[in-house]
Amino acid sequence: MATSANVQVLGAWSSPFSNRVQLALKLKCIEHEFVEEAFYINKSERLVKANPVYQKIPVLIHDEKPVCESLLIVEYIDETWAGNGRSILPSDPYERAIARFWAGYIDDKWFPRMKELATAAGDETKATVVGQLFEGFALLEEAFVKCSKGKAFFGGDDIGYLDIALGCFLGWVKVAELLGGVKLLDQSRIPGLAGWAERFLSHDVANDIIPDAPRLVEFYGKVQAAIAAAAKTAAD
């Protein structure tokens, strides 16, 4: 059986992808060291060495062996510490495949729309992006109804793989609502998903990992200022 010795995470408190790894480790009760990385500028030599291909966070380092990409790390944690608590991934092969499908949708289709909302210029462009986000949330509402089977979470009675895959973004969803002036998790539109989000954020596993919106808004402003300053320096 694998131990929790020598487990380290290279990440950032503000990164939803790092939060995914933190959620999985906490769900499995794995002690670890969290190493904060300034991922948006001046990437550390440690990070580049651990993830030379993509040079991005998060990276899980277990017994000096790096594992990259957040969803792969979550699966690695689930399999490596299979004896710790309940499984993160569904045990049924079909349900496991469906969970992976929707996790891929979240990263490949849904999250890019979230990023577009932050940079949308003009009312017409913003309205288009918001409409696409509502369509995405409607699809995720259907996925929640099917996967949860009437229970509290995508994973059933407790947090599972899809809960972690989507729940890690909830802090930034709140930021998008604040900055964009739009209610995305609208109870009248997506009652199942809106209720799920409240339960997820109040869960013991999530409540000290997912950052609150005001702190993220402040961080976002600092990042934009740092990037602008770096660009100005490079141009001078």
Q: Are residues 120 and 201 in the same domain?
A: yes
User: Is residue 125 assigned to a domain?
Assistant: yes
Q: Are residues 203 and 100 in the same domain?
A: yes
Q: Are residues 73 and 103 in the same domain?
A: no
For the residues of 100-147, what is the DSSP string, one character each? HHHHHHIIIIIHHHHHHHHH--SHHHHHHHHHHHHHHHHHHHHHHHHH
Q: Are residues 107 and 184 in the same domain?
A: yes
Instruction: Name the residue among 188, 140, 160 with its Cα closest to residue 89.
Output: 160
Q: Are residues 194 and 97 in the same domain?
A: yes
Q: Are residues 98 and 61 in the same domain?
A: no
**Tens of pLDDT along 139-196?**
999 999 999 999 999 999 999 999 999 999 999 999 999 888 899 999 999 999 999 9
**Do residues 67 and 60 touch, judged by C-beta distance below 8 A?**
yes
CATH code assigned at 17: 3.40.30.10
Q: Are residues 174 and 200 in the same domain?
A: yes
Q: Are residues 76 and 103 in the same domain?
A: no
The Cα 164–Cα 162 span in angstroms is: 5
Q: Are residues 202 and 107 in the same domain?
A: yes
User: Is residue 87 assigned to a domain?
Assistant: no
What angle in degrees, to the nearest 10, is found between the helix axes of 70-80 and 16-27? 10
How many folded domains does the chain comprise?
A: 2
pLDDT at 5: 60
User: Is residue 88 assigned to a domain?
Assistant: no
User: Is residue 220 assigned to a domain?
Assistant: no
Tokens of 31: 């002690």
Can you give the pTM of this predicted structure? 0.93
CATH code assigned at 125: 1.20.1050.10
**Tens of pLDDT along 96-144?**
999 999 999 999 999 999 988 877 888 898 899 999 999 999 999 999 9
Q: What is the DSSP secondary structure assignment for residue 184, as one 8-state letter?
A: S
Q: Which domain holds residue 54?
A: 7-80
The Cα 207–Cα 22 span in angstroms is: 12
Q: Give every CB contact of residue 191 below 8 A, 6+ residues apart in sequence.
A: 141
